[in-house]
């Protein structure tokens, strides 16, 4: 089979992301001291122990670290979405692998090229994840909600043309508590110069996102 030059965009992708409390005069010798003493006496008379304030602790996070993205999809799904790709995938180096991890699969079968990325990102809180999710959705307008996945799901499609070669890309973003799951799925046909259909790419990206979210939830730390 003759070798085919990849468009620049795809070639680039294939090359090596106290509060301080003070007790004052009012609590020690002022009128509030008398009130506190009265309450203590009443408690002792009733035979109850004085309540103890619980220690202040940082709110626990649902997810403390990112799971292995290359283990998030089944081999059957990988073979269906990226024919000829190695099912093991390739994890992309991260500056903090505890919080951000990404795995990629890509392959050329005949003239059909497919690329799939799955990423996990762990934030400090649900609120932080919500803000990041909303910001990313705003940056990728034109898509729509994906129901029944995580706490929030969004899908958007994009078609680009370079040197007369079309490439269609689908991105699905999901928030699950304080975690964000991102899937990017794209494809091109180097013979026809056309991109795969919207339905194929969109459904493929959503399928991968559902599996990735399920893998995240199954690996949740108790």
| Res. 37: pLDDT tops 50 | no
The CA distance from 119 to 195, in Å, is 24
* Range of 37-41, 45-49, 56-60, 108-112 with top mean pLDDT: 108-112
Confidence of residue 40 (pLDDT cuts 50, 70, 90): very low
Query: 137 and 37, same structural domain?
Result: no
Tens-digit pLDDT profile for residues 56-99: 334 568 999 999 999 999 999 999 999 999 999 999 999 999 99
pLDDT of the residue at 61: 84
Indicate if 102 and 31 belong to the same structural domain: no
Give yes or no for a contact between 170 and 204, defined as CB atoms under 8 angstroms apart. yes
User: What is the residue range of 43's domain?
Assistant: 25-54
- What ranges make up the beta strands (E) of 123-164? 144-145, 152-162
Compute CA 43 distance to the chain's CA centroid, rounded to the nearest angstrom.
50
Asked whether residue 99 falls in the same domain as residue 43, the answer is: no
CA distance 183 to 173: 7
Q: What is the mean pLDDT of the chain?
A: 81
The sheet carrying 179-189 orders its strands as: 90-92, 100-109, 112-122, 179-189, 165-176, 152-162, 144-145
Same domain for 42 and 133?
no
Q: Residues 47, 69: one domain?
A: no
Residues 36 and 124 in one domain: no
Q: What pLDDT is attached to residue 13?
A: 53
Whether the CA torsion 194, 199, 200, 204 is positive or negative: it is positive
Using DSSP's 3-state secondary structure scheme, residue 158 falls into strand
Per the structure block, which two tokens stand in for 215?
């893998």
Kindly state whether residues 50 and 122 are assigned to the same domain: no
CA distances from 182 to 3, 19, 45, 210 (A): 32, 36, 60, 11
pTM of the model: 0.74
Q: Is 206 a member of any domain? A: yes
Task: Return the pLDDT at 59.
Answer: 55
Q: What is the CATH number for 76?
A: 3.40.1000
- Please tell me the predicted confidence (pLDDT) of residue 220: 59
Residue 7 falls inside a structural domain: no
> Over the stretch 145-181, which tens digit does the pLDDT of each residue have?
999 999 999 999 999 999 999 999 999 999 999 999 9
Q: Clarify whether residues 47 and 94 are in a common domain.
A: no
Number of domains present in the structure of the chain: 2
């Amino acid at each position: 089979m003759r070798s085919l030059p990849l468009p620049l965009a795809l070639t680039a992708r294939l090359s090596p992301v106290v509060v301080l409390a003070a007790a004052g005069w009012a609590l020690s010798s002022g009128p509030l001291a008398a009130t506190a003493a009265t309450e203590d006496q009443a408690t002792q008379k009733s035979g109850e122990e004085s309540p103890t304030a619980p220690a202040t602790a940082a709110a626990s996070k649902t997810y403390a670290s990112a799971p292995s993205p290359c283990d998030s999809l089944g081999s059957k799904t990988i073979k269906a979405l990226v024919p000829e790709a190695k099912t093991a995938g390739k994890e992309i180096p991260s500056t903090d692998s505890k919080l951000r991890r990404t795995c990629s699969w890509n392959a050329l079968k005949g003239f059909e090229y497919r690329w799939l990325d799955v990423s996990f990102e762990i934030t400090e809180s649900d609120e932080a994840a919500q803000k990041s999710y909303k910001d990313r959705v705003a940056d990728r307008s034109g898509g729509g909600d994906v129901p029944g996945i995580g706490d929030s799901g969004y899908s958007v499609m994009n078609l680009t043309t370079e040197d007369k070669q079309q490439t269609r890309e689908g991105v699905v973003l999901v928030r699950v508590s304080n975690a964000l799951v991102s899937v990017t799925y794209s494809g091109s046909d180097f013979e026809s110069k056309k991109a795969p259909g919207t339905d194929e790419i969109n459904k493929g990206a959503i399928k991968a996102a559902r599996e990735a979210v399920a893998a995240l939830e199954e690996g949740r730390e108790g």
